[in-house]
Amino acid sequence: NAGVTQTPKFRILKIGQSMTLQCAQDMNHNYMYWYRQDPGMGLKLIYYSVGAGITDKGEVPNGYNVSRSTTEDFPLRLELAAPSQTSVYFCASSYQGGWDNSPLHFGNGTRLTVT
């Protein structure tokens, strides 16, 4: 099992550009999450999904969009990049989404800089 795979690892964007952060998991997990982590801070939930076709907002969804067309994939879209979106982005998946003490499995992260 590869676990959770995120691409790209690094990216520099200009203000106003768009990009999609890719996330895939091969553990057949229903729950998937996108977090962002600013320097010296904890992780903030952007969006999450409880299964294919179902997504919901987290703590900081503005400026982002997601889709979940398959169980395996959960891409995160930035439409108009802003410097405030400079951050490290982590994708994670979970079997039960926190129920029954099922933990999160993380990807390695994407370091995004918007200038």
Partner 1 sequence: RKEVEQDPGPFNVPEGATVAFNCTYSNSASQSFFWYRQDCRKEPKLLMSVYSSGNEDGRFTAQLNRASQYISLLIRDSKLSDSATYLCVVNMIQGGATNKLIFGTGTLLAVQP
Residues that bind partner 1 (CB under 8 A): 33, 35, 41-45, 48, 50, 56, 58-59, 88, 90, 94, 97-104, 106-109
Q: Closest distance between partner 1 and the C-beta of residue 42, in Å? A: 4
With respect to partner 1, which residue has the nearer C-beta, 16 or 53?
Answer: 53
Alpha-carbon span 14 to 16, nearest angstrom: 6
Rounded CA separation 29/7 (Å): 19
Shortest distance in whole angstroms from residue 71 CB to partner 1: 16
Select 77 or 111, whichever has its Cβ closest to partner 1.
111
Distance CA 106, CA 31 (A): 12
State the minimum distance, in angstroms, from the CB of residue 85 to partner 1. 18
Nearer to partner 1, 14 or 100 (CB): 100
Q: Hey, what are 104's tokens?
A: 């999160």
Non-local CB neighbours of 105 within 8 Å, separated by 6+ positions: 3, 4, 25, 27, 29, 92, 93, 94
Q: Which is nearer to partner 1, 101 or 115 (CB)?
A: 101
